[in-house]
Amino acid sequence: MTLGTNGKVITLAETAANQVSVRTKLVFGIGTGAEYICLYSFGLLSMLYYNQVLGLNATLAGLAPTLALIFDAVSDPLIGSISDRFKAKKWGRRHPFMFVAPVPIALCFFAIFNPPESLEGFGLFLWFVSFAVALRTFMTIFHVPHLALGGELSSNYHERTTIMSYNNFFGWFGAAGTHFVALTFAFAATAEYVNGLLNPDAYPVFSATAAVIGVVVLYASAWFTRDQIPRLSQPPADQPKFSLREFWSDIKAVMVNRNYVYLVIALFLLSIMLGMRSAFNLYMNMYYFELLPAQIALFVIGSAFGYVTAFWFTTEIHKRFDKRATIVTAAILLSIVPALPVMLRMAGYFPDNGTVWLLPVMISFSGLAGVCLAVVSISVMSALADIADENELLYGRRQEGMLYAARTFFAKADNALGHFLAGVTLDLIEFPVKSKPGEVDADVIYWLGMVDSPITIVPGILAACFYAGYRINKKRHDEIRAELDSRRSMAVGTKDIAAKAAPT
């Protein structure tokens, strides 16, 4: 039972009984699609752009997103705590933030890929750092309340998985659509640049187009979910306003939750693996497997299979195996499957570069990896909503904003930490700047493959071990919900009796 914006008391049972409409799931989901247009483009292109196109040192190109992570470490939980405590009867706790952020996000994204031509060296690095920090901060202002909104839409154990399936699917759609359109059209080959990703003139048009699409879709998601505001929870009337003291109290309340701590540690380890693979993605495809952008664009076929499969079947998998077993198994497979092409190549069992079977086999592995990543993401997002119920039972406060802040932080941490480690690695193996595929020394290519695949398995397997520590299953969640409803019913009954006894 929670207090809606209209003052009506809403029990968890009532919320669970009301299935969320497909329309609401769709307009909620498209917000993530727009977020990933920016986040995916930033993660895929920024390091390659600053290192191979603009000539910035690889370590500095990887360091810029990492420095932005320092600000994320504060801004993500800060926005989570502020939005959890924000009181606005008309607009609710989440939507005011979602309306403020889109335009600054678009401007910062465009600036990253359009530095002044006069900048070079450390000046170029400072430009990259400044707008990376700004982009990630404004993305936090939208992303954290948006995810918290998704966690509030239903208290049903399996309906939450369905909602997060829409969220994950549209995230994939935004990333995959950007991937395909960018590599097929924006970075198409020209007479001067056979590999369009090395064409500096392609980046301004691409970044402007992505920024405009992003701002329109972000506003659409915020506007068309506003009809859900009356049925969402509001902070208790007696809850203190935001302050640094209350912020610290909110952090302690989530960090003493055993289930949350296990998920956070696992997310951190998984983000290192995913971030390094993301940073190496274009380097591996361009220099190790020697694929052209138009060929790399076709990976969207495999990822489409993966994410559509996860969209349709993750809820059913949870019903049969529950969330913990699903997360652990998918995390192990996610660690191993993307590494197999390089490991098989090293063992002599993978198609050679330029052969007809190389691209289809690579697309197939992309599809398998997509299934694993999508299932992990959906399952963890659903589990965080369950932890919000557990925390309310333990501490009497709804903290979706704080809880989902970890997810948004590590969604950006994979770019930051992974890009920094990848940048340092590229310098250690002496990977040349402004190099052409097919002309890099074979020993350098060998070590690029070694770091990208066999080594990155380790943090992923460790993440799976921590995911195994998560303990909320369907039975436990039903017990939590029942106890919350009972507690709230007693509180409402006491309040009614007091009201009747009061003198008129």
C-beta of residue 12 within 8 angstroms of C-beta of residue 3: no
pTM metric for this prediction: 0.79
Q: What is the greatest pairwise CA distance in the chain?
A: 89
Nearest to 130 by CA among 114, 111, 117: 111
The torsion defined by the Cα of 288, 289, 293 and 299, in degrees rounded to 10, comes to -120
C-beta of residue 449 within 8 angstroms of C-beta of residue 284: yes
pLDDT given at position 395? 83
pLDDT given at position 191? 87
C-beta of residue 95 within 8 angstroms of C-beta of residue 150: no
Burial of 309 (0-12, 13-18, 19+ CB in 10 A): middle
What structural domains and CATH numbers belong to the chain?
Answer: 20-488 (1.20.1250.20)
Report DSSP state, residue 298: T
C-beta of residue 277 within 8 angstroms of C-beta of residue 459: no
pLDDT given at position 212? 96
pLDDT tens track for 27-39: 999 999 998 898 8
pLDDT given at position 499? 54
pLDDT tens track for 142-196: 999 999 999 899 888 899 999 999 999 999 999 889 989 998 899 998 989 988 9
Task: Give the Å distances, CA to CA, from 60 to 52, 110, 473.
Answer: 12, 20, 44
Report DSSP state, residue 352: P
Structure tokens at 323: 């969330």
Ranges under pLDDT 50 in the chain: 1-17
pLDDT given at position 236? 74
